[in-house]
Structure 1
């Protein structure tokens, strides 16, 4: 059972399609089919059900996928361990909530890039739930998410605290909380965003049902639409402070249990720590680590 065959099998299993796996691996479709058939012959069991919608794993295929994921991950860790040097090099994938990336991380990322120009740093933003799953799936080395995060396979460091505020336009009269929000549209990030969950939880507790919820993909769009009078949102005070001073939006405090949140940096316990990763963690702790942020499971 060779590595290439396992990689082909994994790609086909994840994509649910031989053609998609071929595109992903830059293989001819016939080569993917041949590799899968060779594996099935070697193992003496069918790995996929074939149907007009693509392919689906058989019970044997599901079992093999678990082991293939482990084997390929160990091989990648072995490659990193052998190639790792005193000078930080190689890939490093980091995720963050959109709001944290916009305000807290630009200087960290810029300084790290100057210190470690040979590191292939990739950075993605998304909702906390999505980022947590990506770290668990080894797709990201680590991520800044809203905490605390309770998971037996993860470590977390507390890095900053934020005050969340309700943000409205300056076109409407000032709010007399919170019943007046009943006829207002709520502007949020897509499902999985922790701030969205906080806002909707608070409104539900207050007995307020917004007339409409609109999802947006970027922080700038939400702030712009709030300022234009489209609706209201819940965002970190640090994000909207300058907009408030310029009278582009208004901000209102909300109850502390909904308005005070912690950002943590998470990583897998079993992740291999390259020099590039060790230096990135060092910079996080030097710049941001809160008292009591131990890096141990909580």
Structure 2
């Protein structure tokens, strides 16, 4: 099993297609097909389920992908160590949507200017999916809603967010979930930690929450609330960045639903040069690992 074969396997797994993976790697599809078949023959397992025009990972493929990501991370760390410990190679960081929009841009610019040799990549998703990416080795670090207790992960608190409930402008004061009972709820998909906080707020008031209408954008959530009849839970910093924010009514929530802390998380034992440099730039000073 060669690293070059694993790179091909990783590209096909991410693209779901040999043709798209070949285009991404600037190679011909037949070459990738041959190398992938050789890898499966050497391992004695099928790495993909071939369904119509798309390839999906088999159970064995999912296991191998996790190991492959860790091997690539270790390779990058080894190369950095041989260069004197300076950050280099790939560094993939995950982020919640609101964090990526509000807090991440200046951090990314500062990091890239300081360490231009690092191939910095950002992937956005709800907290639950980011944690899955960390544990599977697809991400080197992730900014998620915390605090979190995972035996496999380490982390540091980065900044606090105030969470607010928004309704249409004409809605009256909201003291509890009873005041919005029966209204449409706009939220991200189930793996979103902010959605779970909203669900917890309803539970605390012993009020059933309407099945959420899943929306993948804060802009769309705001537009739906402005249109009337629904609610959404959003970070105040995100709301203040959106056009149309003055067309909704903002309601403060009681503790513990009104505040949340964003954490930077990573796999234990994987605090390499790239991640150390990220933490040092944000907080200053060396980090023990």
SS for the counterpart of 1:223 is helix
Query: Are 2:141 and 2:275, in contact at CA under 8 Å, matched by a contact in 1?
Result: no
2:104 aligned residue: 105
2:169 aligned residue: 170
Query: Are 1:144 and 1:263, in contact at CA under 8 Å, matched by a contact in 2?
Result: yes
| Match among 269, 278, 281 for residue 280 of structure 1 | 278
SS for the counterpart of 1:257 is coil
Do structure 1's residue 31 and structure 2's residue 31 form an aligned pair?
yes
2:82 aligned residue: 82
| Shift in CA distance, 57/118, structure 1 to aligned 2, threshold 3 Å | closer
1:139 aligned residue: 138
Greater relative CO, 1 or 2 (CA 8 Å, sep 6+): 1
* Structure 2 unaligned blocks of 5 or more: none
Query: Are 1:227 and 1:248, in contact at CA under 8 Å, matched by a contact in 2?
Result: yes
Deviation at 1:93, TM superposition (A): 2.3
Deviation at 1:256, TM superposition (A): 0.8
Number of aligned positions between the proteins: 287
| Shift in CA distance, 80/139, structure 1 to aligned 2, threshold 3 Å | farther
Deviation at 1:46, TM superposition (A): 4.9
1:264 aligned residue: 263
Query: Are 1:181 and 1:210, in contact at CA under 8 Å, matched by a contact in 2?
Result: no
| Shift in CA distance, 59/78, structure 1 to aligned 2, threshold 3 Å | same
Q: Is 7-16 or 57-66 further displaced after alignment?
A: 57-66
Deviation at 1:165, TM superposition (A): 1.9
Larger radius of gyration: 1
2:197 aligned residue: 198
Q: Is 61-70 or 99-108 further displaced after alignment?
A: 61-70
| Shift in CA distance, 171/269, structure 1 to aligned 2, threshold 3 Å | same
Query: Are 1:77 and 1:272, in contact at CA under 8 Å, matched by a contact in 2?
Result: no
RMSD: 3.8
| Shift in CA distance, 24/84, structure 1 to aligned 2, threshold 3 Å | farther
| Shift in CA distance, 148/25, structure 1 to aligned 2, threshold 3 Å | same
* Structure 1 unaligned blocks of 5 or more: 288-293
Superposed CA deviations along residues 140-188 of structure 1, whole A, max 9, x for unmatched, are: 2212111111112211101222232211121334446432312311111
Q: Aligned partners of 1:152 and 1:4: how far apart in 2?
A: 32
Deviation at 1:128, TM superposition (A): 0.7
Q: Aligned partners of 2:239 and 2:13: how far apart in 1?
A: 44
Q: Aligned partners of 2:172 and 2:45: how far apart in 1?
A: 67
User: TM-score, normalised on structure 1?
Assistant: 0.76
Q: Aligned partners of 2:65 and 2:117: how far apart in 1?
A: 33
